[in-house]
A and B are shown apart, each in its own frame.
Chain A
């Protein structure tokens, strides 16, 4: 590929000084979208830069994160898990204690404030498992903004609880019946809505994917996770962790957790993808482990696709990791070697969820259970003086129907 893209592949160390003005994370990122959206993306980039530099915007955001979301949430020492592993000390960053039960609200509060600042009157969003949909519906209810959430018909069936919550919050949940009827098609549908409604509507994208500036905006709003975890770790242990671990689907909780540690060379960083049923195509959602460089949903990153560029089907026990793409900054971290990406399968994630509930009195989401499963394995390889911080991205209440079904129990 001599003229592959205008850039040559990036080599060198990862830095936190990304993306550049064109949305490049090394060679990744940028904008591959229809012309109809370009003006809105440029406008969003400018407005976001102004908001970021405006102390009153930051103050309003911090205030809401404090009083509405419940931040800062604690960095918790998982004592019994640590003892059971007999290795490194395991700490959990408790995003599960946020309002709505996951990290997603950090981003939706930020983007809702951005919507108001831009004078837009309506919000749209996509959702897979429903966590981002609930967090968007919640933020919109808080500010009285009308909200439409696109959700695959298949996901609506699987995630009735979240659909009910969104509707109770006043959002319209619009079923997506095209293609695979899951998250991927919900994003397509939300983008189509936005192409026709861009004058008065903001699209609150839920992960660090999509065209520039979305991967940057979502990362920035989620970075509160890593910033808090970093200073809490310094305050309670007197030093930085040896390793930071989070699960990666699209990659928003992990990007928020990792980003503030990128320039700390002593901190090892590991992202855990969904290994599903195994490494066969269609059986997993391990985009960085098994995927190729490619384009999906307006960004250049790693993608699971066939040799003709058609997006592949993916599988994971957790609907929140079930995505055939991944944020471009993760692609950059992978190729620079700054973050190591591994995967954990369905079975281990499910076992870990149950084990953590019994051992620590915390019911993690199935997504999060992938990260914890790897952390437990890693702790055993490390010495007792080492510190591992895991992003406990969400609580498992939403998964109880699925877990009961999979384990043959009645609710």
Chain B
């Protein structure tokens, strides 16, 4: 399950990239909505958001781009978006527009389970999944409460900290996955810090999916200044995504 930020380096490239990722075998694609103050994200994704915002990417244009590609893509698209953006746009309007654009669900990293009940109801009414996150710091009784609102899959945060490439995953990750498995029938997807096929192999049998963000987004870094490499970079990202997908499906 790859992640990219919408509008980095620009929305036409985002559209091409989504098709490339879908063709590479991704089971689901996360689309990040650039935000000025993304506290859950590490430096790579924040830099990607900053690049997109520097070009004044607008919400309306992101929805238009997704609308233009979502029908051609088999893999479900899930938006990763700050509640600051949703709230400012108007909660009803945001969910309706996201649904109309072709998003299957949303991940709202700064809307913890405690605050999510009203929003979860609204999402359910529009038949969209609201993906809930569980962290290594989440105690089991809290996890149980969070799972009550969960639909789609459960996003298991692999490390305490922000998104970003890491060599080691939290030692308690295996325990956390085991415990969650007994509490929900939803698929468990692991994200934050995952960047390589061997990490995916390591999670075999423990998790049902992995989310790779920073390692993919990093490949886009040089495109902001040099668009001549767009095709080559898209190809590289496609191949990398295929390696990850193969490791996951093997």
A residues apposed to B, CB below 8 Å: 1-6, 22, 30-40, 178-179, 184-185, 188, 191-192, 195-199, 292-298, 300, 303, 305, 307-311
> From residue 107 to 124 of chain B, which have CB atoms closer than 8 A to chain A?
109-115, 117-119, 121-122
Set B47, B115, B121, B139: member contacting A30, Cβ < 8 A: B115
Is B92 positioned at the interface, with any CB of A under 8 Å from its CB?
yes
Contact with A along B130-144 (1 / 0, CB 8 A): 000111111100100
Is B74 positioned at the interface, with any CB of A under 8 Å from its CB?
no
Contacts of B42 in A (CB 8 A): 192
Query: How far does the alpha carbon of A69 sit from the alpha carbon of B109 in the complex, in Å?
Result: 40
Contact with A along B87-118 (1 / 0, CB 8 A): 11111100000000000000001111111011
> From residue 165 to 181 of chain B, which have CB atoms closer than 8 A to chain A?
none
Please provide the 9 A-B residue pairs with the shortest distance between their CB atoms, ordered closest to farther: A196-B161, A309-B88, A309-B85, A6-B118, A36-B135, A34-B40, A295-B84, A311-B36, A35-B135
CB of A184 within 8 A of CB of B37, answer yes
CB of B58 within 8 A of CB of A199, answer no
Set B46, B110, B121, B139: member contacting A3, Cβ < 8 A: B121
Is B244 positioned at the interface, with any CB of A under 8 Å from its CB?
no
CB of B112 within 8 A of CB of A34, answer yes
CB of B137 within 8 A of CB of A3, answer no
Contacts of A292 in B (CB 8 A): 88
Contact with A along B14-57 (1 / 0, CB 8 A): 00000000000000000000011111101100110010010000
Set A196, A198, A297: member contacting B162, Cβ < 8 A: A196
Query: How far does the alpha carbon of A293 sit from the alpha carbon of B84 in the complex, in Å?
Result: 10
**Most-contacted residue by chain A among B47, B87, B135, B159 (CB, 10 A):** B87
Knowing that A35-B135, A309-B89 touch, tell me 5 more A-B residue pairs with CB under 8 angstroms. Answer: A6-B117, A38-B114, A38-B137, A297-B39, A309-B86
CB of A196 within 8 A of CB of B160, answer yes
Is B241 positioned at the interface, with any CB of A under 8 Å from its CB?
no
Contacts of B134 in A (CB 8 A): 35
Is B59 positioned at the interface, with any CB of A under 8 Å from its CB?
yes
Query: How far does the alpha carbon of A165 sit from the alpha carbon of B96 in the complex, in Å?
Result: 52
B157's nearest neighbour on chain A, judged by CB, is A36
- Tell me the minimal C-beta distance from B135 to chain A in angstroms: 4
Contacts of B138 in A (CB 8 A): 35, 38-39
CB of A34 within 8 A of CB of B109, answer yes
CB of B133 within 8 A of CB of A34, answer yes
A189's nearest neighbour on chain B, judged by CB, is B39
CB of A305 within 8 A of CB of B162, answer no
Is B195 positioned at the interface, with any CB of A under 8 Å from its CB?
no
CB of A308 within 8 A of CB of B161, answer no
Contacts of B91 in A (CB 8 A): 1, 3-5
CB of A294 within 8 A of CB of B122, answer no
Contacts of B146 in A (CB 8 A): 35
- Tell me the minimal C-beta distance from B201 to chain A in angstroms: 25
Contacts of A2 in B (CB 8 A): 92
A7's nearest neighbour on chain B, judged by CB, is B118
CB of A296 within 8 A of CB of B84, answer yes
Is B82 positioned at the interface, with any CB of A under 8 Å from its CB?
yes
CB of B46 within 8 A of CB of A178, answer yes
CB of A39 within 8 A of CB of B39, answer no
Contacts of A196 in B (CB 8 A): 159-162
Set A37, A188, A305: member contacting B88, Cβ < 8 A: A305
- Given A195-B160, A294-B88 in contact, is the A32-B83 Cβ separation under 8 Å? yes
Query: How far does the alpha carbon of A5 sit from the alpha carbon of B120 in the complex, in Å?
Result: 11
CB of A22 within 8 A of CB of B119, answer no
Contacts of B85 in A (CB 8 A): 308-310
Contacts of B36 in A (CB 8 A): 179, 310-311
CB of A308 within 8 A of CB of B59, answer yes
B136's nearest neighbour on chain A, judged by CB, is A36
Query: How far does the alpha carbon of A297 sit from the alpha carbon of B113 in the complex, in Å?
Result: 17
CB of A308 within 8 A of CB of B88, answer yes
Set A4, A198, A297: member contacting B137, Cβ < 8 A: A198
Query: How far does the alpha carbon of A161 sit from the alpha carbon of B90 in the complex, in Å?
Result: 44
- Tell me the minimal C-beta distance from A2 to chain B in angstroms: 6
CB of A3 within 8 A of CB of B118, answer yes
CB of A4 within 8 A of CB of B87, answer yes
CB of B39 within 8 A of CB of A192, answer yes
CB of B82 within 8 A of CB of A309, answer yes
Contacts of A295 in B (CB 8 A): 82-84, 87-88, 110
CB of A32 within 8 A of CB of B161, answer no
A306's nearest neighbour on chain B, judged by CB, is B88
- Given A1-B90, A35-B146, A40-B137 in contact, is the A179-B37 Cβ separation under 8 Å? yes
CB of A309 within 8 A of CB of B87, answer yes
A37's nearest neighbour on chain B, judged by CB, is B137
CB of A36 within 8 A of CB of B114, answer no
